[in-house]
Amino acid sequence: MGVINLAELKPGMALAEDLRDRNGRFLLAKGTRLTLKHLRILKIWGVIEVNIEGISQKNVESNTGAQIDPAIMETAEKEIRERFVHTDLDHPATRELFRLCTLRKAEELDITDSEAKLEHHDSYERNMDANEILEDTTTEMSPLEFIRDDISLSTLPDIFIRIKETINDPKSSARDIAEAISKDTNISAKLLKLVNSAFYGFPSKIDTISRAVAIVGTKHLSILTFGIYIINAFKNISWDLIDMKSFWEHSIVCGTIARILASHKNIQNTERLFVAGLLHDIGRLVFYNSTSINARNIILKARNSHSLLYEIEHEIMNFDHTELGKLILKKWKLPMSLENIVKYHHYPMLSNDPLEPAIVHLSDIMTNALDMGSSGERFVPPLDQDAWTCIGLSPNILSLTIKQMEHQVRELVKFLVSDER
């Protein structure tokens, strides 16, 4: 028998022992042969791993990298180690993340041309010349002055405001909300694609917004509408500094991981965590959009000194993108809980309510480690050990979460960021 992650289970496998949930509640009997329906239900029950008959643990583990050429493993480890330079590899969660990322990189190098990968890796570092002379970037501007300065980011389209008002109005019915959302065909199409995607994994097709409202719930759907709206409103802003597709990929992956981790913690309304992940680095857009500061210099300075970007933001500005993010969410009148998560995602334990900021903190670290998109940061930020303790999950959750995330985001980035309907 061998313990297999949920994502690797296949119909026909038989349970080697009785299956119980994390509270010890009996779920399925030893010997049960798993069906597709079981696999769906196990996901809903939050089962992480299952002991399966007829598979040795050795075989399960040998599936994890032993067959990759040691020279490729070494190249992968070297590259990943550079990205993890600011982390503590003695911490069990960081060590596990390092192991998973090394394996993933080795698998990539094993099947694709490494030069093509390197090209991809640098794609978000647009027009960056490491030898460029740095100007003095210090500024006395306050975070509020930055937000006031930024008209394009701080002003939301009218239709967004109308939808938000309908959603926030306690007198609005599900039908009013569906009607308000349906007026924007682009957003409606994206919402329908989202609720029909692997993100939800509903077995039957949901073809109208009113049905989506009924099935997903107004609260969940409203927060998703916020998220989709914001991506839509800001996806075509062009900067020479950052590729917006890469920025939103980082944000969508972070949000998806946060939503999965929240479900493992039995948090209600996990869509809120998805949107918090989507918006966690939105303050960076204010920096990149600002004419009052040379954001290129901030990025270059971080790069040349091998420092974390948010530390250099602090050094130059006396505040960082988390402060700007919080202010912009306040301006958009989004819920306080979202402001709290965005403000504390790099320092979750400073929050009075640290669990959700800690989840996005871990999600951001995982997203940077996986190198999926970028908001400008080159390194994996360090994991706050107290935040990890606060989350209270086992390092085993990381591999399952990454597999679930990959399954869910496969199409998500494409249809949320692209113009197709």
- What percentage of the chain's residues is helix, strand, coil (to nearest 5)? 60, 5, 35
Q: Which is nearer to Fe ion, 199 or 344 (CB)?
A: 344
Q: Structure tokens of 214?
A: 């009924």
- Find the shortest distance in angstroms from Cβ 36 to Fe ion: 36
Residues 215 and 204: their CA atoms lie apart, in Å, by 11
How many angstroms from the chain centroid is the CA of residue 1? Answer: 34
Q: Which is nearer to Fe ion, 102 or 375 (CB)?
A: 375
Q: Does 364 bind Fe ion (CB under 5 A)?
A: yes
Q: Which is nearer to Fe ion, 79 or 364 (CB)?
A: 364
Phi, psi of 214 (to 5 degrees): -65, -40
Q: List the x/- string, 234-273, binding to Fe ion by CB under 5 A.
A: ----------------------------------------
Q: Which is nearer to Fe ion, 28 or 253 (CB)?
A: 253
- Find the shortest distance in angstroms from Cβ 299 to Fe ion: 14
User: How many residues sit in the footprint of Fe ion (CB under 5 A)?
Assistant: 3
Q: Which is nearer to Fe ion, 76 or 365 (CB)?
A: 365
SS3 (DSSP) at 268: coil
Q: Which stretch binds Fe ion (CB under 5 A): 82-90, 182-190, 198-206, 276-284?
A: 276-284
Q: Is residue 67 exposed (0-12), middle (13-18) or buried (19+ Cβ within 10 Å)? A: exposed
Q: Does 281 bind Fe ion (CB under 5 A)?
A: yes
Q: Where are the alpha helices (DSSP H) in 122-269?
A: 143-149, 151-154, 158-168, 174-182, 185-195, 209-216, 218-234, 244-264
Q: Which is nearer to Fe ion, 2 or 277 (CB)?
A: 277
Determine contact, residues 6/43, Cβ cutoff 8 Å. yes
Q: Does 49 bind Fe ion (CB under 5 A)?
A: no
Q: Does 323 bind Fe ion (CB under 5 A)?
A: no
Q: Please, which residues bridge with residue 50 across strands?
A: 4
Determine contact, residues 245/417, Cβ cutoff 8 Å. yes
- Find the shortest distance in angstroms from Cβ 171 to Fe ion: 37
Q: Which stretch binds Fe ion (CB under 5 A): 6-14, 151-159, 372-380, 385-393?
A: 372-380
Q: Does 313 bind Fe ion (CB under 5 A)?
A: no
Query: Which spans of this chain sit near Fe ion (rule: CB under 5 A)?
Result: 281, 364, 375
